[in-house]
Structure 1
Amino acid sequence: MNSVAYVTVDVFTSERFSGNQLAVIPDARGLTDAQMQNIAAEFRYSEVTFVLPPQDPANTARVRIFTPTMEIPFAGHPNVGTAFVLGRQDGIFGRPAGDVLRFEEKAGIVEAALTRDAEGHVIGAGIFAPQPLSLGPQVDSETIARCASIEVRALRITTHVPVIASVGLPFAVAEVTSLEALARACPNTAAFAEAGRRYSPEDDQFALFLYTRQPENPWALRARMFAPLDNVIEDPATGSASGALGALLTSLLPDMDATDEITIEQGVEMGRRSVIGVTAVKSKGQIESVRIAGQCAPVMTGSILL
C-alpha cells in the first residue's frame, strides 16, 4: 500500500471550520498499528479513526480510535463523525450502510443512528455509549484547581464533588461557579502529571472536563476539556465526557425514572463552538442508556503517502 485515502469532518457543528476536527480513514485494511499511530500523530487532531471490516458480519465495521499518542477504547466525536462519513458513502466494504451502524470497538459495540435533513441527506448521527455509567475515585478540589489554574473557591460542589466518571472513557468531571471561572481555566501540565500518577497509576493519564450550568436553564451547559498528557491541550468537543456528565447528573436526580435532554456547548473559548446533545435515560434508579448526538460538516478529502 503506497497511499491511503482520508476524509476530514468537523463534528458537533453544522458549520465548516468550527466544532471538533476528525480525520477518518474509511478503508484502513493493510495499515499496521505503527502506521495508524503515525497518521494520528501527523494530523494532531484529538482523534483519528481507522475503519476495518467487522469481525462479526452482523456488525457494520471495526473502528479503531487513535489520539496523537495512543489508541483509546471509545470516544464520542470520532463515532459521530465516522458514522457521518460512512453514511454518506455508497457502501462499506461492499455492503450498504443503512441508517443504523454498529461499530466494534475496544470498549464494546457502539450503535450509531444517522440523522438526515428534509431532503434525505445525512447531516449527523447519534450514538449510544457502549458502557454503563461507572464512577471512579473522587478527586480532591485542590488537585482540580491546580490542574485548571483556578482558585478552589471557583469550584461548585453542591451537586457533586469532582469525580472520575466514564461511559467508555474516564474523565475527571468538575463543576465551576460561572462562565467567568470557566474562561479563566488554563491547563497546568505539571499538575496534570501529578494527578495522573495519583489517580491513574496504570497509564498516568488524567483528563479534566469542567462545566458550568446556565442560570436560566440548568440543562444547558458550557464546558471545556483539557488532556495535555495526551497532547490535547484543549478539545473543542468531547462526546464521551459529555455522555459521562449527562449520565452522572441524571443519576443524581431523586426520581427513580427520568429522561433528561442536555445541551452542552464546548469549544467556545477556542473559537470552535460545538453543540453536543445528550439524552440520559434512568429506569428504576439506574442509568439505562446514554445517547450522544450532533451534526457534522465535511471539510477535506485526500490521500496520505505511506
Structure 2
Amino acid sequence: MPRFSQVDVFSAEPLRGNPVAVVHDADGVSDEQMAAFARWTNLSETTFLLAPTDADADYRLRIFTPGRELPFAGHPTLGSAHAWLAAGGRPARPGTLVQECGAGLVTLRTEPSLAFAAPPLLRSGPLSPEVRAGVLAALGLGEDDVLGMQWCDNGPGWVGVLLRSADDVLAVRPDLTRFGEHKIGLVGRYDDRRAAEVGALVEVRALAPGLGVVEDPVTGSLNAALAQWLVGDGTLPERYVASQGTLLDRAGRARVEADPDGTIWVGGDTTTTIVGEVALDA
C-alpha cells in the first residue's frame, strides 16, 4: 500500500491552516483511483507524488480537487514538497526543489521556510463586460465596491477582485447560485493599526464552488496570482503577509516576497499531522 501523509499548510498554529492529503510512490495508482480518493478525502486538494518524467525535476505531482484535476495549486505544492522531504527525498540541488506538474516545472526554495516561485499566469488582463457583471452578481457587489478586477489565472482559473478594505472582503456574502464556473479571489488591505494586530497586510478569500470547495481556507495559487497583479502594478509592497481563512476559523498566513527580477515567492509554515498507508484498491 502507498504511504500517506496529511500536511497542514500556511499556519504556525496546529490545525488552523489548509490540509492537503499526499499519497507517496503513486506511479501505480490509476487516474480513476486518484479521482476517487480525492472525492473520498473531500479536502480542497489531494496530491500524488510520482517519479519525474523531466530530468530537471526532483519529483512529479498530480493535484486533484474533489471535482477535477488541476495543473497547479499552491498549498498542495508546499505540503507535498514538505511530505517528499520528510519521507527522505533529496533534491538534486541543495536548498532548491523542482516540481514537475501540469503547469510545467515549478521551483521551490527550502530556506528560511518552504516557498514556491509563482508560475507564469496563463491569463491576465481585463474581463469581458459579461464576465465582470457575472462576478459582481455572484459576490452581491456593485461597481462602486470594487477598486480593481482582472484575470489572475495560473491554472485554477482565478478572477482577482480588489476591494476597498479587508473588512469589505470579510463582509462579502456570495450568492453561490450565481457562481457557475467562476473562481473568485478577493483581496483588501488592512489599515496600519489592524495590520499590526492581525499580523498581515491584506485579507484574502478564495471562493470556488466549481472546484468542489465553496471557500478554500488558504490558497497558494491565488496569493501568487494576486501578488503578480498587485505587486506588479505597485498597489502592494514587494514583501507582505496575507491573512486567509478568518471566516472559517483558520489562521492562514501566506508570506509573499518579490525578487528584484520580478519573481514572486509564496511561502508559509508546513506541519505533518497524519502519516500512514492508504488502501486504494480495496
**Same fold at TM > 0.5:** yes
Give the aligned partner of residue 229 of structure 1. Answer: 210
Spell out, residue by residue over 1:149-202, the C-alpha distance to the aligned partner (whole angstroms, 9 max, x if none). Answer: x33167232xxx311113444311112233443223233232111xxxxxxxxx
Instruction: Choose 133-142 or 290-299, whichever is displaced more.
Output: 133-142
Instruction: Choose 224-233 or 137-146, whichever is displaced more.
Output: 137-146
* CA gap 1:147/1:259 in 2 versus in 1, 3 angstroms: closer
User: Which residue of 280, 292, 295 corresponds with 2:269?
Assistant: 295
The answer on whether the counterparts of 1:16 and 1:298 sit within 8 Å (CA) in structure 2 is no
> C-alpha displacement at 1:144, in angstroms?
2.8
In 2, the alpha carbon distance for the partners of 1:169 and 1:281 equals 24
Alignment of 1:127-146 (within 5 A): 127-132=116-121, 134-138=123-127, 142-146=133-137
> C-alpha displacement at 1:277, in angstroms?
1.1
> C-alpha displacement at 1:136, in angstroms?
4.3
The answer on whether the counterparts of 2:202 and 2:241 sit within 8 Å (CA) in structure 1 is yes
Give the aligned partner of residue 185 of structure 2. Answer: 209
Give the aligned partner of residue 32 of structure 1. Answer: 30
What secondary structure sits across from 1:243 in the alignment?
helix
What code does the residue aligned with 2:258 have? Answer: A
Structure 1's unaligned 5+ residue stretches are: 117-123, 194-204
* CA gap 1:230/1:58 in 2 versus in 1, 3 angstroms: closer
* CA gap 1:165/1:58 in 2 versus in 1, 3 angstroms: closer
Structure 2's unaligned 5+ residue stretches are: none
Spell out, residue by residue over 1:112-156, the C-alpha distance to the aligned partner (whole angstroms, 9 max, x if none). Answer: 11236xxxxxxx4111122257414426554333212x3316723
Spell out, residue by residue over 1:75-128, the C-alpha distance to the aligned partner (whole angstroms, 9 max, x if none). Answer: 111111111111222236xx8894321111111101111236xxxxxxx41111
What secondary structure sits across from 2:226 in the alignment?
helix
User: Which residue of 235, 238, 255 corresponds with 2:219?
Assistant: 238
In 1, the alpha carbon distance for the partners of 2:152 and 2:34 equals 28
In 2, the alpha carbon distance for the partners of 1:248 and 1:263 equals 16
2:92 matched to 1:103?
A: no
Give the aligned partner of residue 163 of structure 2. Answer: 176
The answer on whether the counterparts of 1:84 and 1:114 sit within 8 Å (CA) in structure 2 is no
In 2, the alpha carbon distance for the partners of 1:186 and 1:303 equals 39
- Identity in percent: 27
Higher strand proportion, which one? 1
Give the aligned partner of residue 172 of structure 2. Answer: 185
Give the aligned partner of residue 201 of structure 1. Answer: none
* CA gap 1:282/1:249 in 2 versus in 1, 3 angstroms: farther
What secondary structure sits across from 2:88 in the alignment?
coil
* CA gap 1:154/1:235 in 2 versus in 1, 3 angstroms: farther
**Number of aligned positions between the proteins:** 273
Q: TM-score, normalised by structure 2?
A: 0.88
What code does the residue aligned with 2:216 have? Answer: D
Give the aligned partner of residue 63 of structure 2. Answer: 65
The answer on whether the counterparts of 1:12 and 1:275 sit within 8 Å (CA) in structure 2 is yes
What secondary structure sits across from 1:252 in the alignment?
coil
The answer on whether the counterparts of 1:90 and 1:96 sit within 8 Å (CA) in structure 2 is no
* CA gap 1:136/1:71 in 2 versus in 1, 3 angstroms: farther
In 2, the alpha carbon distance for the partners of 1:139 and 1:155 equals 18
2:41 matched to 1:43?
A: yes
User: Which residue of 228, 232, 235 corresponds with 1:247?
Assistant: 228
What code does the residue aligned with 1:206 have? Answer: H
The answer on whether the counterparts of 1:52 and 1:61 sit within 8 Å (CA) in structure 2 is yes
In 2, the alpha carbon distance for the partners of 1:62 and 1:189 equals 34
In 1, the alpha carbon distance for the partners of 2:74 and 2:84 equals 16
The answer on whether the counterparts of 2:13 and 2:251 sit within 8 Å (CA) in structure 1 is no
